[in-house]
């Protein structure tokens, strides 16, 4: 009788079995490494398991291998067009964890497989940017370019290659050959898993030593799958590298109100949601509902609370329900806008009455009057889309431009913050307070000057919100605000989009995403997301969140695993807010689809 060794803890986290008996699929569930990377004990176990076979090899440097694809085709003018796609997954986090734990140097390189879809002009050459040193070589049937930054690899170093998962060996072989040309000694490669047995056989044939936490048995194949999602999403986060133009984000996002109309277009919708917690408990919420008695009506919503969860939980429960009770696919556009505005006002009034029903001492001591929530909803009624928002949750529409046939990112919500001059004007008109938009007392006391953040009454970042009754109604306010209320309102901004076949998807997200990502960056990530190239996550919404986390980690000088291993609450909140994102795909029945 043979004994089966116990599974490591992280294998349970990945929902993998240590043995596969040759089924057609090794796993039917999408794996996600984010919980593993935030568990220090499991992460330590994973690092030890991956590195153990190379402990005697005197490794000098860990190198993360990012695999990309590049399609090359000449356009009508004979110029070469290059389309790059790349999924960085969790390679950076895993490689960084190994390097940090073992006190080794860290480096990165990219392996790009070029696919030529048409004959390119003979004069065309491909040059790397000046800040990179590039080795180009042929490997097997494909042409690879290996790119690495200057001094990213130590001279004559003994290198261990790291990737999260592999489904072909050629990229690892190309990375090995390129580093060898640079004078390095590649001792091998390590990865969490390989998708099939042939990958490992090809590495053996190329004499590449490897360690793999999960080895598929003969005949087994590990597949990925796409999940549209039907609930409120997953709290787990996943990884995708965002391509940025200048590394900066803007809170002033362009808005296009001149959207072409064609109400006869019919659409099919699918969606998925992802969440990542910073506060403990999280103050973000989401909701995705199809009206059971009218299939032409669907609501997708993202909510962002502040000052606690009381307000946001109430709004999540009541707002969409009030809308669905009243709207019908037979309503006119004006009627629907009226219903939505009424639902926003009704939900806010119900929240107010719930506070007034409490003893004054209770609501004041617990700060309930200072709690509030922002919201953005996408209401689909047949081929018409209504976006309604209050606060700084935002909605971005990805659509194909008629002029350029490229992808446009159009913000279809309104920024209700002090960065919007129209909104600050309304605050002053409501309150009759000439100094309504000012820095907080803390910023004034520290002499923050022009770099201080201006707020409504020196207190609230948003010009509209649910709750926050200390800035809204006298009976729940106190000095110094009471004499000037209302400063803010819960009335939503509503944008109506008559879909004409060019729309691909709508991205709804809390400000935790938009604080670090522009609409164009978000649309680019969703458009390039390919579930077939992503083993550790299945949705573009999760890809958006992890791209945001990578930008946050880079901004603050952290490794990804360091950021993700922080405890939710005050520690993690210092670096970022809760992030919630829903992507709604729009498929047009006339043949145009996302």
pLDDT of residue 224 exceeding 70: no
Q: Higher pLDDT residue, 218 or 146?
A: 146
Per-residue pLDDT, 142: 55
Q: Coil, strand, or helix at residue 96?
A: helix
**172 phi and psi, to 5 degrees?**
-65, -40
Is 95 a member of any domain?
A: yes
Is 91 a member of any domain?
A: yes
Q: Higher pLDDT residue, 215 or 131?
A: 215
Q: Coil, strand, or helix at residue 269?
A: strand
Per-residue pLDDT, 37: 60
Per-residue pLDDT, 217: 54
Q: Higher pLDDT residue, 217 or 144?
A: 144
Q: Report which listed range, 195-199, 243-247, 272-276, is most confident.
A: 272-276
Whether residues 103 and 202 fall in one domain:
yes
Angle CA(471)–CA(475)–CA(479) in degrees, nearest 5? 55
Q: Please tell me the total count of domains within the chain.
A: 2
CA 292 to chain centre: 30
Q: Which of 215-224, 287-296, 328-337, 459-468 has the lowest mean pLDDT?
A: 215-224
The last residue of one of the domains, among 191, 214, 237, is 214
Q: DSSP for 44-80, please give it.
A: HHHHHHHHGGGGGG---EEEEEEEEEEEEEE-TTS-E
Grade residue 200 by pLDDT with cuts at 50, 70 and 90: confident
What is the arithmetic mean of pLDDT over 109-129? 53
Q: Coil, strand, or helix at residue 554?
A: helix
CA atoms lying within 13 Å on the CB side of residue 280: 9
Please write down the long-range contacts of 137-143, taking CB distance under 8 Å and 24 or more positions apart.
Answer: 137/174, 137/177, 137/178, 137/181, 139/170, 139/173, 139/174, 139/177, 140/170, 140/173, 142/113, 142/114, 142/115, 142/170, 143/113, 143/114, 143/116
Whether residues 55 and 177 fall in one domain:
yes
Give how far Cα 204 sits from Cα of 186, 198, 303, Å.
Answer: 14, 10, 51
Grade residue 288 by pLDDT with cuts at 50, 70 and 90: very high
Is 358 a member of any domain?
A: no
Q: For the segment 485-528, what is each residue's pLDDT rounded down to a tens digit?
A: 999 999 999 999 999 889 999 999 999 999 999 999 999 999 98
pLDDT of residue 448 exceeding 80: no
Whether residues 121 and 197 fall in one domain:
yes
Per-residue pLDDT, 428: 94
Per-residue pLDDT, 138: 58
Q: Higher pLDDT residue, 154 or 81?
A: 154
- Tokens 């153990």, residue? 52
Q: Are 25 and 222 in contact (CB under 8 A)?
A: yes
Write the CB contacts of 584 (distance below 8 Å, at least 6 apart in sequence): 269, 270, 271, 300, 378, 380, 505, 506, 508
The phi-psi region of residue 15 (left if phi > 0; otherwise alpha if psi is between -120 and 50; otherwise beta) is: left
- Tokens 């596969």, residue? 20
Whether residues 408 and 279 fall in one domain:
yes
CA 593 to chain centre: 22
Q: Are 429 and 410 in contact (CB under 8 A)?
A: no
Q: Higher pLDDT residue, 67 or 270?
A: 270
pLDDT of residue 274 exceeding 60: yes
Per-residue pLDDT, 347: 97
Please state, for a pLDDT cut of 90, what percent of the chain lies above it. Answer: 44
pTM > 0.85: yes or no: no
Is 66 a member of any domain?
A: yes
Q: Exposed, middle or buried: residue 253 (CB in 10 Å: 0-12, 13-18, 19+)?
A: middle
Per-residue pLDDT, 229: 36
Give the number of other CB atoms < 10 A from CB of residue 498: 15
Instruction: Return d(Cα 423, Cα 427) in angstroms, integer.
Output: 6
Cis status of the peptide bond prior to 486, with omega within 30 of 0: yes
Per-residue pLDDT, 390: 98
Whether residues 167 and 298 fall in one domain:
no
Per-residue pLDDT, 530: 82
Whether residues 210 and 272 fall in one domain:
no
Q: Coil, strand, or helix at residue 140?
A: coil
Whether residues 210 and 271 fall in one domain:
no
Q: For the segment 85-103, what is each residue's pLDDT rounded down to a tens digit?
A: 444 457 877 888 888 888 8
Q: Higher pLDDT residue, 407 or 74?
A: 407
Whether residues 398 and 296 fall in one domain:
yes
pLDDT of residue 557 exceeding 70: yes
Grade residue 197 by pLDDT with cuts at 50, 70 and 90: confident
Whether residues 280 and 155 fall in one domain:
no
pLDDT of residue 399 exceeding 50: yes
Grade residue 130 by pLDDT with cuts at 50, 70 and 90: very low
pLDDT of residue 413 exceeding 50: yes
Is 377 a member of any domain?
A: yes
Range of the domain at 557: 267-309+321-330+372-416+486-588
pLDDT of residue 313 exceeding 90: yes
Q: For the segment 38-68, what is each residue's pLDDT rounded down to a tens digit?
A: 666 777 787 888 898 999 999 999 999 988 7
Q: Are 120 and 79 in contact (CB under 8 A)?
A: no
For the chain, the average pLDDT equals 78
Q: Are 511 and 553 in contact (CB under 8 A)?
A: no
CATH of the domain at 505: 3.60.40.10
Is 277 a member of any domain?
A: yes
Grade residue 373 by pLDDT with cuts at 50, 70 and 90: very high
Is 19 a member of any domain?
A: yes
Structural element, H or E, at residue 319: helix 310-326
Q: Which of 78-92, 107-121, 197-211 has the lowest mean pLDDT?
A: 78-92
Q: Are 383 and 263 in contact (CB under 8 A)?
A: yes
Please state, for a pLDDT cut of 70, what percent of the chain lies above it. Answer: 72
CATH of the domain at 36: 3.40.50.2020
What is the arithmetic mean of pLDDT over 457-461? 92
SS (H, E, C) 326-388: HCCCCCCHHHHHHHHHHHHHHHHHHHHHHHHCCCHHHHHHCCHHHCEEEEEEEEEECCEEEEE
The last residue of one of the domains, among 214, 248, 280, is 214
Strand pairing category for 61-74 and 105-116: parallel
What is the arithmetic mean of pLDDT over 278-293? 93
Q: Higher pLDDT residue, 531 or 171?
A: 171
Whether residues 169 and 88 fall in one domain:
yes
Per-residue pLDDT, 345: 98
Give the number of other CB atoms < 10 A from CB of residue 117: 11
What is the arithmetic mean of pLDDT over 17-36? 38
Question: Taking Cα atoms as reference points, which of 235, 374, 396, 392 lies closest to residue 303?
Answer: 374
Is 262 a member of any domain?
A: no
Write the CB contacts of 510 (distance below 8 Å, at least 6 apart in sequence): 284, 302, 303, 304, 374, 393, 577, 578, 579, 580, 581
Per-residue pLDDT, 467: 95
pLDDT of residue 10 exceeding 90: no
Give the number of other CB atoms < 10 A from CB of residue 84: 14
Q: Are 305 and 371 in contact (CB under 8 A)?
A: yes
Q: Coil, strand, or helix at residue 225?
A: coil
The last residue of one of the domains, among 178, 193, 214, is 214
Question: Taking Cα atoms as reference points, which of 225, 227, 216, 226 lies closest to residue 24?
Answer: 216
Grade residue 296 by pLDDT with cuts at 50, 70 and 90: confident
Grade residue 29 by pLDDT with cuts at 50, 70 and 90: very low
List b or e across 311-344, with b for residues whose CB sees 16 or more CB atoms inside 10 angstroms: bbbbbbebbbebbbeebeeebeeeebbebbeebb
Per-residue pLDDT, 582: 97
Per-residue pLDDT, 93: 78
Whether residues 205 and 282 fall in one domain:
no
Question: What is the number of helices (H) and of strands (E) in the chain?
Answer: 16, 21
Q: Which of 272-276, 303-307, 466-470, 558-562 has the lowest mean pLDDT?
A: 558-562
Q: Higher pLDDT residue, 570 or 4?
A: 570
Per-residue pLDDT, 534: 65
Grade residue 443 by pLDDT with cuts at 50, 70 and 90: low
Q: Higher pLDDT residue, 104 or 253?
A: 104
Cis status of the peptide bond prior to 512, with omega within 30 of 0: no
Whether residues 297 and 210 fall in one domain:
no
Per-residue pLDDT, 420: 92
Q: Which of 21-30, 75-84, 169-178, 534-543 has the lowest mean pLDDT?
A: 21-30
Give the number of other CB atoms < 10 A from CB of residue 299: 22
């Amino acid at each position: 009788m043979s004994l089966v060794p116990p599974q490591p803890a992280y294998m349970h986290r990945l929902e993998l079995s240590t043995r596969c008996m040759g089924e057609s699929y090794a796993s039917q569930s999408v794996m996600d490494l984010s919980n593993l990377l935030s568990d220090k004990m499991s992460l330590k176990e994973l690092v030890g398991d991956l590195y153990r076979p190379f402990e005697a090899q005197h490794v000098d440097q860990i190198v993360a291998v990012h695999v990309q694809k590049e399609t090359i085709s000449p356009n009508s003018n004979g110029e070469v067009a290059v389309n790059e796609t790349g999924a960085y997954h969790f390679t950076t986090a895993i490689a960084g964890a190994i390097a940090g734990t073992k006190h080794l140097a860290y480096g990165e390189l990219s392996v790009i497989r070029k696919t030529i879809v048409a004959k390119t002009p003979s004069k065309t050459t491909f040059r790397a940017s000046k800040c990179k040193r590039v080795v180009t070589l042929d490997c097997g049937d494909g042409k690879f370019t290996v790119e690495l930054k200057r001094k990213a690899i130590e001279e004559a170093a003994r290198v261990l290659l790291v990737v999260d998962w592999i489904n072909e060996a050629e990229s690892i072989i190309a990375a090995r050959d390129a580093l060898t040309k640079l004078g390095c000694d590649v001792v091998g490669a390590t990865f969490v898993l390989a998708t099939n047995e042939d990958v490992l056989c090809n590495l053996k044939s190329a004499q590449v030593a490897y360690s793999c936490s999960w080895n598929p048995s003969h005949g087994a194949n590990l597949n990925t799958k796409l999940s549209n999602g039907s609930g409120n999403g997953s709290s787990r986060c996943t990884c995708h590298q965002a391509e940025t133009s200048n590394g900066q984000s803007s809170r002033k996002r362009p808005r296009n109100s001149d959207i072409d109309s064609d109400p006869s277009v019919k659409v099919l919708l699918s969606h998925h949601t992802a969440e990542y917690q910073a506060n403990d408990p999280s103050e973000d919420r989401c909701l995705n509902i199809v009206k059971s008695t009218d299939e032409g009506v669907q609501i997708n919503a993202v909510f962002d609370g502040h000052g606690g969860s009381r307000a946001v939980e109430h709004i999540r429960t009541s707002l969409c329900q009030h809308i669905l009770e009243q709207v019908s696919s037979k309503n006119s556009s004006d009627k629907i806008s009226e219903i939505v505005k009424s639902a926003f006002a009704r939900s806010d009034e119900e929240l107010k009455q719930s506070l007034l029903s409490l003893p004054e001492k209770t609501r004041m001591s617990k700060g309930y009057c200072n709690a509030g929530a922002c919201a953005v909803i996408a209401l689909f009624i047949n081929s018409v889309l209504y976006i309604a928002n209050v606060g700084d949750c935002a909605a971005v529409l990805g659509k194909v431009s008629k002029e350029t046939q490229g992808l446009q990112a159009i913000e279809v919500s309104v920024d209700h913050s002090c960065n919007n001059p129209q909104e600050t004007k309304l605050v002053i008109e409501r309150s009759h307070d000439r100094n309504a938009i000012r820095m907080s007392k803390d910023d004034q006391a520290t002499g923050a000057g022009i770099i201080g953040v201006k707020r409504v009454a020196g207190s609230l970042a948003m010009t509209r919100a649910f709750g926050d009754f200390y800035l809204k109604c006298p009976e729940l306010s106190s000095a110094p605000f009471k004499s000037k209320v209302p400063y803010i309102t819960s009335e939503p901004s509503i944008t109506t989009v008559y879909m004409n076949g060019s729309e691909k998807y709508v991205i709804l997200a809390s400000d935790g995403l938009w604080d670090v990502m522009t609409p164009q960056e978000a649309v680019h990530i969703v458009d390039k997301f390919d579930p077939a190239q992503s083993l550790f996550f299945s949705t573009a919404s999760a890809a958006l969140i992890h791209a945001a986390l990578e930008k946050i980690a880079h901004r603050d000088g952290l490794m990804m695993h360091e950021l993700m291993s922080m405890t939710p609450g005050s520690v993690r909140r210092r670096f970022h807010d809760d992030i919630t994102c829903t992507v709604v795909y729009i498929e047009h029945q006339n043949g145009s689809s996302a």
